[in-house]
Amino acid sequence: MKYAIVDAFTATLFKGNPAAVCFVDNWPVEQVMQQIACENRLSETAFARQLTPTHYQLRWFTPGGEIDLCGHATLASGYLIFRFRAPGQAQITFTTQSGDLVVTKQQDWYAMQFPSYALQPTPVTPAMTAALGVTPQAAYLGRDLLCVVAREQLVRNLAPDQARLKSLPGLLQHVTAAGQDYDCVSRSFGPKLAIPEDPVCGSGHCHIVPYWAQRLHRNQISAYQASARGGELRCALQGQHVQLCGQAVLYVQGTLTL
């Protein structure tokens, strides 16, 4: 099984969000894919099965289970296909649990079209304050919980209580604020999926971008994920979809022996 690790949403090695990508001829049993994801100890491992040179099926596994959408592992998969499997092509389609996802190559950047999540306001609770160590100004719920805080530095200084985060609604929990050098700065946490912090969360920005697009009254949003590794996204709200653009860099590739 061909295997690689790519740092996504960055052009610098050891920054961004590392994702493992495994290319398979046929799907391994789910238990094996889950074991591989646990062995990798990364936030996500993608499994890609080729249908045509530019069309793949794609699945994502965290150490805590399979998920229905993952931005950085999709970017990593697209990067590898464009570079090694379909050089000269401009577009790749991935068939996933969330529908068909299209990745296009734009020089050194890769653009992905993802479905946006409808956000519903939800009350700010004492449990949120206890888990985050700061009281959100507002909170919204889609697939994930999005908490808005007053200042960028509050996002950067967060040291959340992982056990208490698990009690909050949403599959993941995101905290965001207006940025100084970017439109927004955010961090993402996934203790329910055995991910204490997702270094750069693409699917999280399918919540974050719709919020800031409405708040700032424009569709183009520059975003920074303020984890220890850090990562940059160029985003756009396009109707019911979010375009996420990022760079990627190869860390390692080889063969996984089962």
- Do residues 165 and 88 share a domain? no
Residue 258 is predicted with a pLDDT of: 85
Domain identity same for 83 and 129: no
Domain identity same for 99 and 134: no
Catalytic residue among 30, 39, 44, 197: 44
Q: Are residues 125 and 154 in the same domain?
A: yes
Task: Give pLDDT, residue 16.
Answer: 98
Residue 191 sits in the same domain as residue 95: no
CB 10 within 8 A of CB 249: yes
Phi, psi (rounded to 5 degrees) for 154: -65, -40
Pairing relation of β-strands 17-24 and 45-52? Answer: parallel
Residues 149, 105 share a domain? no
Query: What's the CATH code of the domain at 156?
Result: 3.10.310.10
Q: Are residues 16 and 78 in the same domain?
A: yes
The yes-or-no answer on residue 44 being catalytic is yes
Q: Is the pTM of this model over 0.75?
A: yes
Rounded average pLDDT per 10-residue block, the chain, 258 residues:
98 98 98 98 98 98 96 98 96 97 96 96 99 99 98 98 98 98 99 96 98 98 99 97 98 95
Together in a domain, 166 and 213: yes
Q: Give the integer Cα–Cα distance in Å for 187 and 8.
A: 16
Query: Do 104 and 126 fall within a single domain?
Result: no
| Statement to judge: residues 145 and 211 lie in one domain | yes
- Do 163 and 79 lie in one domain? The reply is no
Cβ count within 10 A of residue 12: 12
Ordered DSSP codes for 223-237 = EEE-SSS-EEEEEEE
Structural domain harbouring 133 = 120-239
115 Cβ neighbours under 8 A, 6+ residues apart:
69, 98, 99, 206, 240, 241, 242
Q: Which residues contact 37 (CB under 8 A, 6 or more apart)?
A: 20, 44, 45, 61, 62, 63
Q: Look at the chain and report how many structural domains it folds into.
A: 2
Angle at alpha carbon of residue 164, lines to 124 and 42, rounded to 5° = 115
Both 162 and 178 in one domain: the answer is: yes
Beta bridge partners of 16: none
